[in-house]
Structure 1
């Protein structure tokens, strides 16, 4: 369920009075999200109907959102297809509705592709788009520390250690230490703005071409290669946790053709592929170990299997 805040026609019309986008025709709650309330909104102006998405932010505060609002507008201006807050007639994109931060965005069209239907062509397309995303965001003027980055995983891996089998707790500690060693001497691993959560269900396709990249609310300043590793672990994995070499090769070659890898990134890739698996294994473990949590959404063992495969079969960049 993704409609946590119910809106009326009057609520919508009050918000729309700040814009010059036309009259309200219809609106409908969007099912299937997790964190925010979303509505499809149809407006009509001069006989032409246009589609929008209204998002009410249920977890992020008004003070936390300017980074994401500015980033999405920045990327959109550089022809990266992401949702962005439309500015009202006073130039304001971040609004407030029913005591919640809100943003009215153009509706982006395309289809989700299931994980078991992803092909090398899909992976090549997202590789190219992600490289363009990183290049476009490289000069973005705002910085943000990931809320589930290195400091978080150091702390949380220790907090849950006594709830885990001894081998799992040791595995987490080893992976945290491996990333710390890399971070101490990163060399010329490129740092920039990353998406941070680019799983396949956060992308829309038209055919095998990416038509939109969604849900940028985990974006942060981090290693660009870490972002690519998140994609590789999700888009190129098999049910048993192994990596499909054809899909991964297509992904990595397409990315590198747009944003060439640095020398130190060739060395860092096997470690960051493991770090990306560890980070999401950890974030899935926490609610599963909490008997009071209502968000046991995804199986943590899926990422553990990927991590173990990455340890046993270190990958290489093309």
Structure 2
């Protein structure tokens, strides 16, 4: 459960006096997420989500918090941060930097349908378009430079075949050049547990704390790899086609993006294979890390390698 820092009801009731949100009615921990503490907060004026950051520091938060406010202002379905009486969107409670956002309708889905994937793709494209006017910039902390640094440290933990596969893919991606492709603000972690669905409509995108600036279709590839993958790593064509069609209904892809797409799907799978291997074999001491099976994204990467140029669904 994602409650690593305990906030008592009296503590929160006192803290809420900094906001014009009425009196506290209920405080309840949210069993979701793997890094931060999250609470559902109900007051006499509405429902909210309180996030206490366990790793990020106050000075690191403005890029993410201002981005959420910007996207919400432009009609993207995401939670808008709420300012306190001093007009601050970043506050502190129990020694942790804190953000309070409005409650969004819906819940994550275990298995999406084609209509949900179409809606997801369309909202992702709208997010990318809204991000064009966001002035903040954040380099991707887990992009190719990171893969090249950490991959060699992982080889000793892998079988010879797996180490050879990882080394070959890191090399292939290092030789690729994507600087000519459209880039901007991306979510970078738009998995099923970070999207709230309200029927076939998007209730909202959540957890923007891996957001950064990178290639736009890389974000689309990350999303396809999670939402459309079967347990064996195969991609469900109907879902992938629906998601990509939804995206292109709001932001059509260029020919250069289409050409780069198969390799970008592999890059997106590689990123999460490497990060899960790292969390599995080298968890930081004292850090709150939930280990997920690295094999999931190794299977997805293997699927894309076998499909080659046919893996596009565009």
TM-score (norm. length: structure 1) = 0.93
Match of 1:136 in 2: 130
The alpha-carbon distance between structure 1 residues 52 and 296, as it changes in their structure 2 partners (threshold 3 A), is: closer
The alpha-carbon distance between structure 1 residues 239 and 80, as it changes in their structure 2 partners (threshold 3 A), is: same
1:228-267 residue pairs with structure 2 within 5 A? 228-267=220-259
- What is the CA–CA distance in structure 2 between the aligned matches of 1:53 and 1:232, rounded to whole Å? 27
Whether the 8 Å contact between 2:240 and 2:313 is mirrored in structure 1 is no
1:30-179 residue pairs with structure 2 within 5 A? 30-44=30-44, 49-114=45-110, 117-179=111-173
Whether the 8 Å contact between 2:71 and 2:131 is mirrored in structure 1 is yes
Which consecutive unaligned segments of at least 5 residues does structure 2 have?
none
Whether the 8 Å contact between 2:234 and 2:303 is mirrored in structure 1 is yes
Report which stretch shifted further, 23-32 or 248-257: 23-32
Whether the 8 Å contact between 2:13 and 2:24 is mirrored in structure 1 is yes
The alpha-carbon distance between structure 1 residues 107 and 177, as it changes in their structure 2 partners (threshold 3 A), is: same
Whether the 8 Å contact between 2:30 and 2:38 is mirrored in structure 1 is yes
The alpha-carbon distance between structure 1 residues 292 and 156, as it changes in their structure 2 partners (threshold 3 A), is: closer
Shift of 1:295: 4.1
Whether the 8 Å contact between 2:237 and 2:313 is mirrored in structure 1 is no
What's the secondary structure of 2:39's corresponding residue?
strand
The alpha-carbon distance between structure 1 residues 291 and 134, as it changes in their structure 2 partners (threshold 3 A), is: closer
**Aligned pairs, how many?**
310
1:217-228 residue pairs with structure 2 within 5 A? 217-228=209-220
- What is the CA–CA distance in structure 1 between the aligned matches of 2:115 and 2:146, rounded to whole Å? 35
TM-score (norm. length: structure 2) = 0.94
Which consecutive unaligned segments of at least 5 residues does structure 1 have?
none
After TM superposition, what 4+ stretches of structure 1 lie above 3 angstroms from structure 2? 290-296
What's the secondary structure of 1:20's corresponding residue?
coil
- What is the CA–CA distance in structure 1 between the aligned matches of 2:5 and 2:283, rounded to whole Å? 27
The alpha-carbon distance between structure 1 residues 118 and 42, as it changes in their structure 2 partners (threshold 3 A), is: same
Q: Does residue 191 of structure 1 match 2:187?
A: no
